[in-house]
Amino acid sequence: MKKTLILAAVVALTISSTGLAQDSTLFFDIRDNTSPNQIIDTPTYPYTVGALNLGKAGDAQTLYISPDYSDSWETQYPTGWPNNDADGNNSTGKIWLYMDVNLAAGGGTGVISSVGLDMPITAPVTPKNPLGSLAFAWDAGIGWSGSSDGTSDVTGVVGAKAVKVPVSQTPPADPVFDATGGLVPTARYRVGALSIVGGARVGGFGAGYEAASTYTLKLTVNGLLITRVFNGAVPDTTEDVAFGYAAGIPEAPYVDGSVSGGSSALPDATIVVNAKGDFNGDGRCTVLDNSSYVTARNAGTAGATQRQVFMGDTSGDRRVTVLDNSGFTANRSRPAP
């Protein structure tokens, strides 16, 4: 499906869809890609442990957050990992949305001119800890020509739409196509972020509690579509978008950005709402978690996973050490809910 660019005195833009190719990828990551220890292409511990892409894109798609306690216990250890949003509250977090824009199939450059996404969330059949709130916002640093954050609630995001018109000049000057005006290859853009808050902690602890407090999210093309425009001949008539990375490779099967409703096969982000210190996944930190805490502490930076670091790190150094002993002991004694 070809795109046509019409430049008039009022800069009318008519765009249909065309070649993006599978090597342009939208993916979520809990790192902001600017702060220390959060740069995706130079990953640090704990993102590198158990990583299928050496800790790079695709290896930080799970956000661990605490539920909201009746006595605000989620703020007692404010720097415990991840705290990548730096607000000192373990019940809040962000998942940033990135777009890797590479050359289109057929060798064309082109520029990404629109991104339209819905983001439905799949909840457990019988949820325990709920999501409290969720809100999506496009990144203002892109300089969008126009955008709508859509509607967000705990079921996901509907109608997120952003456009970057690839033209230079404005009326009364004669507008012309600008090959640098959209999202250009080859580059990685942070295009938006999901802000997430854990809901009120729920009792009824037992086996499978953490699984019943785990939510997944998928990206879906909405009616704005995901489009690329070219200056001149269109070298590729199909816009295939990868939603996420699997073992460092753009996830297949690819989604046609020309068609509303296309979605990824695998979840693109996971949100776990559970108590720090709950290594055995029953919803609370007790003496039953002692041995697993010691295991995580002994594993060190060579072996402790992101989940283990979330559960064990109360000192805020992104690892589980003896400095976390007092915090773990306190977690065992915290009230419920």
CB atoms within 10 A of CB 171: 10
Please state, in angstroms and rounded to a whole number, the distance separating the CA atoms of residues 288 and 268.
32
Model confidence band, residue 165 (pLDDT cutoffs 50, 70, 90): confident
Tell me the residue type at 133: S
3-state SS track over the chain: CCCCCCCCCCCCCCCCCCCCCCCCEEEEECCCCCCCCCCCCCCCCCCCCCCCCCCCCCCCCEEEECCECCCCHHHCCCCCCCCCCCCCCCCEEEEEEEEEECCCHHHCCCEEEEEEEEEEEECCCCCCCCEEEEEEEECHHHCCCEEECCEEECCEEEEEEEECCCEECCCCCCCEECCCCCECCCEEEEEEEEEEEECECCCCCCCCCCHHHEEEECCEEEEEEEEEECCCCCCCCCCEEEECEECCEECCCCEECCCCCCECCCCCEEEEECCCCCCCCCCCCCHHHHHHHHHHHHHHHHHCCHHHHHHHCCCCCCCCCHHHHHHHHHHHCCCCC
Predicted TM-score of the model (pTM): 0.91
- What is the domain partition of the chain in residue ranges? 25-167+176-228+239-275
Model pLDDT, residue 51: 95
pLDDT number for residue 234:
81
pLDDT of residue 22: 55
Lowest mean pLDDT among 3-12, 99-108, 140-149, 210-219: 3-12
pLDDT value for 23: 56
| Cα(267)–Cα(271) distance, integer angstroms | 11
Query: pLDDT band at 156, cuts 50/70/90?
Result: very high
Summarised one tens digit per residue, pLDDT across range 173-215 is 788 888 888 899 999 999 999 999 999 999 999 999 999 999 9
Kindly report which listed range (72-76, 93-97, 165-169) carries the lowest average pLDDT score. Answer: 165-169
Band (329; pLDDT cuts 50, 70, 90): very high
Whether the pLDDT of residue 2 is over 70: the answer is: no
Q: What pLDDT band is residue 267 in, cutting at 50, 70 and 90?
A: very high
Q: pLDDT band for 229, please (50, 70, 90 cuts).
A: confident
Distance (Å, rounded) from C-alpha 127 to C-alpha 125? 6
pLDDT of residue 108: 72
Task: Determine the pLDDT at residue 233.
Answer: 80
- CA pseudo-torsion sign 88, 289, 198, 310: positive
With a cut of 60, say whether residue 12 has pLDDT above it. Answer: no
**Residues 263-276: what's their mean pLDDT?**
96
